[in-house]
Structure 1
Amino acid sequence: MKKVILAILFPFVVFGQCDESVSKAFQNQLDKEYADAKESPLKPEDLKIFHGLHFYEINKDFCVEAKLVKTPKAKPFAMKTSGNRTPLYVKYGELHFTLRGKECKLNVFRNIELSKQEKYKNHLFLPFTDLTSGVESYGGGRYIDLEATDKDTMILDFNQAYNPYCAYNEGYSCPIPPKENDLLVEVRAGVKKFHD
């Protein structure tokens, strides 16, 4: 049976500002978790030689303020995964922003089951692919964790983009970014692909 991966992994969700120290703390925490045999998605043979993930240099140009257009009364849908699992999500809204001079839009989602838990009730899931996918970054896309807000803007920090567990171990079942979340720009920020 394939292992299940939840989208929420890390406590470092940028909320309201772009802060290089927060992005660095995110990277350090990620490396710490992946080095821990109890938490790591790495295969035993990879864990033995693990010395840290490959990250792009932290770049404030990849931390942007996005206009949030909420989607009222969105209907739940089954998000495709790399396995047979089809978890239910609901579209929370659209994020409109400019990145590297290009107008971009990404849909952000809420996992219905996960949001029933008190500590994840405000958690939002942003899966995406970009022009680095399959080249410098994982071909199956990357994720960003966000928090629901009452504001009409949201800080989107691609320096905190991370790979799904499937990038390290095919035994996991991971959400596949919807086609509408494919960015036609190189997002050279966050985690790179695992094996070069």
Structure 2
Amino acid sequence: MQKFILFISLFLMISCNSQDKRALVGETEYQQKENARFKDASKSPLKKRDLKKFKGLDFFPVDSSFIVTAKLKRTKNAPVFEMPTTTDRKPLYKEYGVLTFTLKGQNYTLTIYQNQGNLEDEEYKDYLFLPFTDDTSGNESYGGGRYMDVKTTDISNNTITLNFNNTYNPYCAYNDRYSCPLTPRKNHLDIEIKVGIKAFKKN
């Protein structure tokens, strides 16, 4: 009898874990990792009430036409400046370069930045910061814009692949206790980027 009860208990535990995993499945590995990270209370930026009801982030459908190759023109002698944020915090950034690319038959440019505070951090020293807004901002996507991580190690012959499917919201889109860099006006794309992360609906 005890063995039978133990078997049922193990079955229920496995079943519950499987359901949790199924609930967090996304279309891509990137979406799955983001959902798993947000589900983890030790890493999640969500408020307690939002975390309690969290079933997964909302994404636009994946569209491979929003994966583009961009040409990078490095900015020479760029000065260090204080990046405006949603709070009084003013982190130091430098303009790393300008990216040009073609999307849906139109040419666009985005300025990419380097967080000076990350240069001494072994984990993030290769990361560049690419914020942008588009014609979905404030409606289907977060009004403050979305971010995309790019690494210096991903740049080859002054070109880099930009995958707009793999965008994310700043943490202040989920919780106002965070301080987030504001997207510069010049990084607005006059097009609807209907891929990547959507606006978060708070409980």
TM-score class, shorter: 0.7 to 0.9
1:20-169 equivalent positions in 2, closer than 5 A? 24-148=28-152, 149-169=155-175
User: Aligned pairs, how many?
Assistant: 174
Residue 150 of structure 1, CA deviation:
4.9
Correspondence list, 1:175-186, <5 A = 175-186=181-192
Q: Structure 1: how far apart are the matches of 2:188 and 2:55?
A: 30
Report if aligned partners of 1:68, 1:94 keep a CA contact under 8 Å in 2: yes
Amino acid aligned to 2:157:
K
Q: 2: CA distance between counterparts of 1:26 and 1:102?
A: 27
Q: Which amino acid aligns with 1:173?
A: S
Distance apart, 1:151 and its partner CA: 2.1
Q: Which has the higher contact order (CA 8 A, sep 6+)?
A: 1
Let me know the Cα RMSD of the aligned residues. Answer: 1.2
Partner SS, residue 172 of structure 1 = coil
Q: C-alpha offsets along residues 98-126 of structure 1, whole Å, 9 cap, x if unaligned?
A: 11222100000100011221222211010
Structure 1 SS opposite 2:31: helix
Partner residue in 1 for 2:9? none
* 1:9-40, Cα deviation, whole Å (9 max, x unpaired): xxxxxxxxxxxxxx811111100010111110
Letter in 2 for 1:161: T
Matched residues, percent identical? Answer: 47
Counterparts of 2:77 and 2:48 in 1: how far apart (Å)?
44
Higher Rg:
2
Q: 2: CA distance between counterparts of 1:150 and 1:70?
A: 13
Gaps of 5+ in 2: 1-26
Letter in 2 for 1:172: Y
Q: Distance in 2 between matches of 1:130 and 1:162?
A: 14
Structure 1 segments (4+ residues) deviating >2 Å: none
What letter is aligned with 2:71? K
2:35 partner SS: helix
Q: Which amino acid is the alignment partner of residue 166 of structure 1?
A: C
Whole-angstrom distance in 2 between the partners of 1:119 and 1:34:
20
Worse-superposed segment, 112-121 or 51-60: 112-121
Tell me which amino acid in the other structure corresponds to 1:143.
Answer: Y
